[in-house]
Each structure stands twice: as structure tokens, then as C-alpha cells.
Amino acid sequence: MTKTLKCDKPVDLDEARKAKGLPRRKRDDPKATAYELRIRVPAEFQGVMGRKKLSRTVFARNKREELRARIAEFEEDANRMLEDRTTGVGIGAQDVSPLSPATPFGEYVERYIALRSNGAIGRQTLANERRYAEYLREVIGLIPLRDLTAMDVERCLLQVPEISRRWANERVEEWKRKREQAVREGNRRKKKPLGSPRVAGPDMQHKILKFCREILNDALDRELVQKNVAKARFLSKNFKKSRPLIDPLMEEDAARFLHEVKALPLSPFKVACLALFSSGMRPEEALALKMGGVNVGGVPSARITGSLEHGTAEIVEYTKSDSSYRTVPIDDYTSREIGRWIEEKSRRLRAMGIRPGPSTPLVGELDKPLTYNVLKKQWQRFVEKVGFEGVRPYALRHTFATINLARGENIKTISVILGHASPSYTLDLYVGYIPSTSRELSNRYVSRLESLPQAA
């Protein structure tokens, strides 16, 4: 393979972040150094590749062997991609026309997503972006890039609820048709009634606007548009992201819920419930806990380093934010139950010829974690049985936060335990649950000063 594309000099990201006063990026090997590799795409291939440069972040312990190997891999992948797209083999088998200001916005969106689908983003993020793209193509997909205006973007966003309702009704009609066909074919099994279709609202509008801005930023970098029209001020005011749902249990209900959880037999479900209740971690974080990440001796704690990928049983390293990597405290009872479960699970695995280790998932019967769908089904059966219908697993996280804040715990401490990016976000989210201390504040302030001994 001819090496048409070659890597520039690697950039030491650790040195760059240190110069800016920023912490090092998270990595599996703490002794490795982070580098950014860049390849400048020649002008004659930019139309085929769809971009002016390629970049990749790699980690290496030394420049002589590991870094050179990473550079060689990057150059090989880039040149293979170029070869595929110029010869019509593999992922570039279609005739790719050069991008220009006259390119329809919908086509540009498809090209943007296709370029990111080669492993640059996760599977769930890719699925979300394809869903956002459907709305954009439906309303403004045929408008050339150079003719797109902020009014067009606003028109698209305003039509999101209407389009979502129409698509939802079409899905319901399709489901009804399939059910009727199944009955005609002799399948008389009783089915649950269809619920009302979910319609996209402000949250979806905000996400589509954010995605549209990312696309036009990319077009701006390629000098295909003069400005990003999706960044108009009135768009930010009209389509703000709504606040998350806060649905905590009150103290009496929380105490009763904990009593019901303690009465459960030892199982992965009980371990997950106790972990959620005692530490405020997210459900996908509880399902991703590993046996070696829980300290059941000394000061009980759990180390959170990843989450369960949506819809799968795969544990992925955390990419949400650096603050999501954290160690959270757990109570003594939860620690004892987790210790018992680790012993029981290890015994079962050894009996099956499987060797347990620190990386073995904690919440699961064998060497795979429970999926969120399985947890949710078990959860729904449990809450209906004990009289907590409608309570979500996520409500235990809000319960942890609100009760601790109401009892006067430091908001910075709670923010770190929850894995929020900043205490200001925690304060904004739970400000209604923090008790007011303004009453008699002036009297307390002055009386303390008056009680001090006076200088002679």
C-alpha cells in the first residue's frame, strides 16, 4: 500500500494540558503519555475524504517503539480509507461527489454521520445522531448549505413535535396492523394494550439544535459557509434544555423502601439496589461495578470507572466527564452484603470452571453483568409488590442527594460523590431541597460577635 497520507509530528497532550493548568486525561496505563496524531489531507483528496485533516489520540510509554507503532497504525488506517474511497472498495463503494456550498444540507448531514461512523463515536451516540438527522432532512434537507438561514433552522425545530407525533401515530398503526394479522393467523395470545405514543418536546428540540450547530461548525471549518446560522441568539432563548426530572423519595418512604430491600434474599438485584441507595451512583454505573472495584474491608467504598453501554451487557470506560471517575462511600450493611455476594459468586464461578478476578462484573449471575432491561423488569416487579409503583431506579440517586443535602451535608461533597461536573450544577438541580437558614441569621451573626471578649 502506497503511503500517500503521512502523520505530522505528534503533539504531547500531557505537556499541553500542563501548560494550561489542566489535569492529565484519564487512561488505563498511568505511565503512558497521551499524544495527538494529525494527518493533513492533500487538497486533491479532501473531496473524497470529506475533511481537511484526520486526528487520533493515542497513549504510549516511549517514543522509540510504542509511539512509532501507533503512528504506523494510524497512517495505515488512513491510507486504507483513502484507497477504499478512491477505488470503490469497502466503506467508500459509492460515488462521492466533492462537497461545495451548493451541497444540500441533508446530504451534508449524511456525509458528516458516515465519516463519524468508523469508530470515532459510540454506537448509541451514532444512533442518536441518525435520529436527529431524520428531523433535519424532513424539513430543511433540500436547502443548499449556502442558502440555509437561522429562520430555516427555527422552522425545523418548531415542527419537531408535529413530525414526532405523526411518526409515532404511524408506528402505532403499524403495530395494530401486525397484531390484527397475528390474530388472523391464529395467534390468540393476550397482549397488553398499546400505550399512548411519546412525542418529542423541548429536550429533543434542544438536542437537534446542538447537533445542527456541530454540523455547521464542521461546514464552517471547511469554508463551505460564511457563518454558523444555528448559533443565532434567539434560537438559544427559544429552545433551552428542560430541567431533569427530580423524583426523590421522602425520608419515611426511603426508610420503608430500604427495609423492603434488606428483606430480599441475596442476589445481584439486591446488590444493585443497595449500591444505588447507599451511594447515589447512576444505575448504569452500578451495573458496571467490578468485584475488584469494591472495598469491603476498612472504610467501605466503591470505585466507579465505567458504565454499562445502553442496551447491551458491555462495560465501557467512562467518557461522560473526568468527574465521573470517582470513589464513592458505601454503608457497612451494603459492604457486608456485597462481601457475601462476592464470596457466593466466586464459589459458583469456580464450580463452573471459571476463575473469578478483579475485573469480574459484580452485578450479575455469571461473568457478564445484568443488562439495564433485565434490571428494570426485576425492579418493576419489586416496586409493584412492595407498594412503590411508578418509582424509577434513578429515583434512588435523587433520594441520596436530597436527603443528605436536607440534613446539612456539604454540597461540594455531594457533588463529587454524584459525579457532577461542578457543585453549581448540583446546587441548581437540588436547590429546592436545601433547607433555608436565613431565619434568625442576623441574630445569630450579631450574638456571636457580642459574645467575644472585648479588648482592654
Q: Using alpha carbons only, what angle is made at residue 445 by residues 443 and 450, rounded to the nearest 5 degrees?
A: 90
Domain spans of the chain? 11-92, 105-238, 251-433
Q: Looking at residue 234, what is its pLDDT?
A: 81
Q: Looking at residue 217, what is its pLDDT?
A: 92
Same fold, 105-238 and 251-433: no
91 — pLDDT class (breaks 50, 70, 90):
very low
Average pLDDT over residues 304-323: 74
**CA–CA dist 242, 248 (Å, integer):** 18
The cell numbers describing 253, all together, are 418512604
**CA–CA dist 308, 284 (Å, integer):** 5
123 — pLDDT class (breaks 50, 70, 90):
confident
Closest by CA position to 282, among listed 334, 320, 254, 243: 320
Q: Looking at residue 425, what is its pLDDT?
A: 87
pLDDT digits (tens, 9 = 90+) for 187-236: 766 666 666 777 888 889 999 999 999 999 999 988 899 999 999 878 87
- Residues whose CB falls within 8 Å of the CB of residue 244, separated by 6 or more in sequence, listed in order: 429
- For 92-120, give the DSSP string: G-S--PPP-TTSBHHHHHHHHHHHHTTTT
Closest by CA position to 394, among listed 376, 407, 419: 376
- What torsion do the CA atoms of 4, 223, 138, 233 make, to the nearest 10 degrees? 140
**Residue 251 burial (CB count, 10 A):** 13
Q: Looking at residue 193, what is its pLDDT?
A: 67
Closest by CA position to 159, among listed 105, 110, 205, 210: 205
Q: Looking at residue 89, what is its pLDDT?
A: 39
CA distances from 102 to 3, 248, 315 (A): 32, 52, 43
Q: Looking at residue 1, what is its pLDDT?
A: 47
The conformation of residue 304, written as its DSSP 8-state character, comes to E
- For 191-231, give the DSSP string: -PPPPPPP---HHHHHHHHHHHHHHHHHHHHTTSSSS-GGG
Compute φ and ψ for 328, nearest 5 degrees: -115, 145
Q: Looking at residue 367, what is its pLDDT?
A: 79
CB 348 within 8 A of CB 256: no
- Residues whose CB falls within 8 Å of the CB of residue 121, separated by 6 or more in sequence, listed in order: 129
- For 420-438, give the DSSP string: -S-HHHHHHHHGGGSPP--
**CA–CA dist 256, 233 (Å, integer):** 48
CA distances from 366 to 160, 370, 431 (A): 44, 9, 42
pLDDT digits (tens, 9 = 90+) for 4-25: 788 898 999 888 888 887 888 7
Query: Which overall architecture, per CATH, does domain 251-433 show?
Result: Orthogonal Bundle (1.10)
CA distances from 45 to 159, 215, 225 (A): 38, 21, 20
The cell numbers describing 267, all together, are 442476589
pLDDT digits (tens, 9 = 90+) for 149-192: 999 999 999 999 999 999 988 888 888 888 888 878 777 666 66
86 — pLDDT class (breaks 50, 70, 90):
low
330 — pLDDT class (breaks 50, 70, 90):
very high
**CA–CA dist 35, 364 (Å, integer):** 37
**CA–CA dist 287, 109 (Å, integer):** 35
- Reported as half-sphere exposure (CB side, CA atoms, 13 A), residue 276 has a value of 29
pLDDT digits (tens, 9 = 90+) for 341-398: 999 999 999 988 888 888 899 998 777 888 889 999 999 999 999 999 989 999 999 9
CB 316 within 8 A of CB 322: no
338 — pLDDT class (breaks 50, 70, 90):
very high
262 — pLDDT class (breaks 50, 70, 90):
very high
Share the mean pLDDT of the chain: 85
| CATH class entry, domain 105-238 | mainly alpha
CA distances from 435 to 207, 343, 438 (A): 33, 42, 9
Q: What share of the chain in percent tops pLDDT 90?
A: 38
Averaging pLDDT over each range in 117-131, 249-263, 319-333, which range is the top one? 249-263
The cell numbers describing 274, all together, are 443497595
pLDDT digits (tens, 9 = 90+) for 386-436: 999 989 999 999 999 999 998 889 999 999 999 998 898 898 888 877 776
